[in-house]
Amino acid sequence: MTALYNPNYIQNLKAKLSTRSTKAQRFNFCIALETEDKSPDYAEYYFQLLLFNEDSYDFKLVYGTKKDLQKTFNFCESSLTLPTKGVKVDEKFFGIEDDRGIDPNDASYFALVRNLLQTRKLSQTMAYTWLDLDEQSNLPEGISKIQIQLVRRIFDTYNITPEAYWLEEDELESEDIEKKLIETKLKLKEKQQEYLLDFLIMPESISYNSVSLALLLCGQAYYKDQVEWKPIWQSIFGTPEVIREYALEINWDSFYGSIEEISRTKPQYPYNQAILGYPPRPDKFNLTQEKILDWATAKDKSSKGTQYPFYPDKKSEEWKNKNLKYVNPPFPYIPLSSS
């Protein structure tokens, strides 16, 4: 089955949010309430990072345990959150003020809102790459020109697999990754610890052809800002999503994204293929730089002077009835992407 993310489809999803359950029973919904202090630290788990090498002006795909990656590259605690969790929904939209969780009947609404927020974030990310950076001097705080340039570069070369390196005992070595993974898997199997590889996109996976794109969108792509490693972009998907749920692709000929089920004869990740529409930027007659900037920088929460918010005003009937505002861009010719 294929879901085409065009304006009508997204409007239909938004309409499903208009009914709210009033039952009082609650439960802890993991995506909503998971916090760092309640999660394992995953220090011994293996992860992949996409690192931008300033010297060669290219990317490296680095494998290593979270502990070794942290130590070798001296990541600050706040910048290396692994596995990543993706976009965070405003819990107050569901009346969550404490750790009681959400109404069980709101769980499906929560998942839908998060899915639509991912759609919005993908569209905004693509809009950023269409900015003429030579003309921009008012980018929002936390977004730099180098970040946008690197996102654009990954979008343009997403199907080129970068050179891979294996990190072990502070040594970064160019390896036959498939061979190294087999050796590591055998060692872990002896200890019944194969699960430590669960957060890797394996070379045999359909996702591996676009591993750079997956790591960018799940917040595991980094660049060095003077002396500190920083994420190229904030995570839109969580690490498990780009491994288990979505194989990511880009269609350079479409403004619309789509999701297709992947036919399998046995249980195997990922289950779906998400295709992001990313066509050439229209000319200024059809889409001005001002409109691109307005959508790219639109804030999620509604406040005085905010254009195109995702959430309605907290005092409005729309908030009470769970009606979202802007999921898709208010202007034509800006990509609507899938999630």
Digit-coded pLDDT (tens) for 235-244: 999 999 999 9
Using alpha carbons, list the distances in angstroms from residue 328 to 92, 106, 115, 150, 300.
22, 23, 12, 24, 12
Q: What is the pLDDT of residue 53?
A: 81
Task: State the average pLDDT for the chain.
Answer: 86
Q: What is the pLDDT of residue 168?
A: 84
Residues of the chain with pLDDT > 90: what percent?
A: 63
Task: Average the pLDDT over 139-151 and give the result.
Answer: 93
Is the pLDDT reported for residue 44 higher than 80? yes
Domain range summary for the chain, segments of one domain joined by +:
2-21+44-320
Is the pLDDT reported for residue 179 higher than 80? yes
Q: What is the pLDDT of residue 59?
A: 95
Question: Per-residue confidence at 28, pLDDT binned at 50, 70, 90?
Answer: very low
Q: What is the pLDDT of residue 142?
A: 86
Nearest partner of 112 among 82, 148, 87, judged by Cα: 87
CB 303 within 8 A of CB 311: no
2 or 188: which carries more pLDDT confidence? 188
Task: Average the pLDDT over 146-151 and give the result.
Answer: 96
> 216-255 pLDDT, tens per residue?
999 999 999 877 899 999 999 999 999 999 999 999 999 8
Question: What CA–CA distance (Å, rounded) separates 249 from 217?
Answer: 12
| Token output for 90 | 């405003």
Is the pLDDT reported for residue 134 higher than 50? yes
Q: What is the pLDDT of residue 54?
A: 77
Residues of the chain with pLDDT > 70: what percent?
A: 86
Task: Average the pLDDT over 95-101 and give the result.
Answer: 68
Question: What CA–CA distance (Å, rounded) separates 320 from 184?
Answer: 52
For residues 142-166, one letter each, b for 16 or more C-beta atoms within 10 angstroms of the residue's C-beta and e for the rest, the string is ebeeebbebbbbbbeebeebbebbb
Is the pLDDT reported for residue 22 higher than 50? no
> 253-299 pLDDT, tens per residue?
998 889 999 988 788 889 999 999 999 999 999 999 999 999 999 99
Question: Per-residue confidence at 100, pLDDT binned at 50, 70, 90?
Answer: low
Mean pLDDT lowest among 72-76, 195-199, 281-285, 310-314: 72-76
Q: What is the pLDDT of residue 101?
A: 67
Helix (H, G, I), strand (E, B) or coil at 323: coil
Q: What is the pLDDT of residue 241?
A: 97
